[in-house]
């Protein structure tokens, strides 16, 4: 079968693809699951021409899959499905991705036949086998007819080693774009996945709910094999938290060193994980750990308690000292609360300077679908537009005048960009060598205008 997988582009996104444009690793995993028996193509609409232009030089597909990677992509993904159905009206179409995995909200109006949730390799193989044989497609775990999407069954307790069962991603299909994918200072960059899931229960995060707090892992040999498939030196490890199992990470570091891999890694790590086992972080600094993202969230312990974070501000300071002693750059993310007043914003400015954060980033507190926070407050939100669930717009009333609130958020970004970052690097994580960062700041500054235009 000819299978076409499509990654959408959102030209209205505050964080544009001129500031971060990473390879669509989920589609490469799907391609890896199908490549032995099928002709799979990936169209990345951030870099490739529109579907109508692509269709002029390619035979019609037998199955189309459109990703809905994030809640903010719902509108653009819906438009892509309609365009695909216009081009190939009789071709079955499936949608899947993070948003359909955590929620069925805002999925009306898609020109879709099937919905895939969770790890897609198994459900998509099931669908393809039925279509190829001409047999009726029976719903299974992770796969449901679009019209019966509310009945979609999901894997609720995946086995801890289930990632070992996944195929290796097929990176060959996007080799022509390999130099175009980047993430902040990592240009070009490739994505890798060592584990999935998290045992903690932060109320603003959906990832632990997707795996029922299980931590899913791959064997070191599998990971080293996948890293050898990556031509890029820069590797962005997309794990929810890569260092949960310290002994496993020490063994992986040894395997990487023994293989002679020369990579630079950007990885997520909790502050308490790092401070509990500084020897693991030290070992990884020796094999290529270049920077980390820590969810500092707040330096106020009562705010951290409210997030069910399970960490305190003292651990953030200790972790910062540890990373800096190892010359590992720190991207620290801070949550901006809509309830803040002027003094709260001033305090965050001082905190960033006092901590010496190399590359700060900021997220407006957002009740993302699939989180405990969303379940608690969904009926109290000031907008129902999925594009505003981007962590740059508030979905709650603000204590400050909305225009002033967004001005202060934009000010955080500008102040960070005016600092000197780690070494000769930038002082803010998302930056650009042209005017893309300036457009992002201006978009944030004007956030109240877009929010005011949306019906509640």
pTM here? 0.93
Q: How confident is the model at residue 456 (pLDDT cuts 50, 70, 90)?
A: very low
Interior angle at CA 107, CA 115 and CA 58, nearest 5: 60
Rounded mean pLDDT of 20-49?
96
pLDDT of residue 422: 47
Residue 337: closest CA among 410, 415, 396? 396
Question: What average pLDDT is seen over the chain?
Answer: 91
Phi, psi for 41 (deg, rounded to 5) = -125, 145
pLDDT at 162 over 80: no
pLDDT at 396 over 70: yes
Please name the residue that has the structure tokens 């890694």: 265
Greater model confidence, 311 or 238: 238
pLDDT at 148 over 90: yes
pLDDT at 139 over 90: yes
Residue 405: closest CA among 448, 348, 440? 448
pLDDT at 80 over 60: yes
Rounded mean pLDDT of 378-398?
94
pLDDT at 140 over 50: yes
Return the structure tokens found at 435: 């005017």
What would the pLDDT profile of 357-374 be if each residue is shown by its tens digit?
889 999 999 999 999 999
In angstroms, rounded to a whole number, what is the distance separating the alpha carbons of residues 418 and 249? 36
């Amino acid at each position: 079968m000819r299978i076409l997988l499509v990654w959408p582009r959102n030209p209205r996104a505050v964080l544009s693809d001129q500031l971060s444009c990473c390879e669509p690793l989920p589609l490469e995993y799907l391609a890896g699951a199908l490549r032995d028996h099928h002709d799979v193509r990936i169209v990345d609409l951030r870099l490739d021409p529109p579907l109508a232009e692509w269709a002029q030089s390619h035979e019609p597909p037998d199955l189309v899959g459109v990703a809905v990677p994030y809640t903010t992509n719902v509108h653009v993904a819906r438009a892509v499905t309609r365009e695909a159905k216009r081009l190939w009206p009789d071709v079955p179409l499936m949608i899947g991705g993070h948003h359909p995995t955590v929620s069925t909200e805002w999925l009306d109006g898609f020109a879709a036949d099937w919905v895939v949730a969770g790890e897609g390799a198994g459900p998509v193989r099931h669908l393809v086998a039925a279509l190829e044989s001409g047999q009726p497609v029976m719903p299974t775990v992770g796969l449901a007819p679009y019209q019966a999407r509310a009945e979609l069954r999901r894997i609720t307790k995946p086995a801890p080693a289930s990632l070992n069962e996944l195929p290796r991603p097929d990176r060959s299909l996007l080799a022509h774009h390999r130099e175009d994918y980047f993430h902040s200072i990592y240009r070009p960059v490739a994505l890798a996945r060592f584990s999935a899931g998290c045992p903690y229960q932060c109320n603003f995060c959906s990832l632990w709910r997707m795996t029922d707090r299980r931590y899913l892992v791959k064997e070191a040999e599998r990971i080293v094999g996948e890293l050898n498939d990556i031509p890029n030196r820069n590797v962005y490890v997309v794990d929810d938290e890569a260092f949960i199992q310290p002994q496993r990470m020490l063994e992986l570091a040894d395997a990487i060193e023994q293989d002679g891999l020369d990579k630079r890694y950007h990885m997520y790590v909790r502050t308490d994980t790092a401070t509990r086992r500084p020897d693991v972080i030290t070992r990884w600094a020796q094999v290529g750990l270049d920077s980390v993202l820590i969810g500092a969230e707040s330096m106020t312990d009562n705010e951290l308690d409210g997030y069910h974070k399970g960490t305190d501000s003292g651990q953030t300071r200790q972790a910062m000292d540890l990373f800096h002693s190892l010359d590992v750059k720190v991207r620290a993310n801070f949550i901006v609360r809509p309830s803040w007043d002027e003094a709260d914003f001033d305090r965050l400015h001082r905190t960033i300077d006092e901590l010496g954060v190399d590359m700060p980033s900021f997220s407006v507190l957002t009740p993302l679908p699939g989180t405990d926070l969303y379940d608690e407050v969904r009926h109290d939100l000031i907008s129902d537009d999925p594009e505003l669930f981007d962590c740059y717009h508030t979905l709650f009333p603000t204590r400050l005048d909305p225009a002033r609130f967004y001005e202060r958020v934009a000010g955080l970004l500008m102040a960070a960009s005016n600092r000197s970052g780690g070494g000769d690097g930038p002082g803010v994580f998302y930056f650009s060598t042209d005017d893309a960062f300036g457009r992002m700041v201006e978009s944030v500054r004007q956030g109240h205008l877009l929010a005011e235009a949306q019906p509640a």
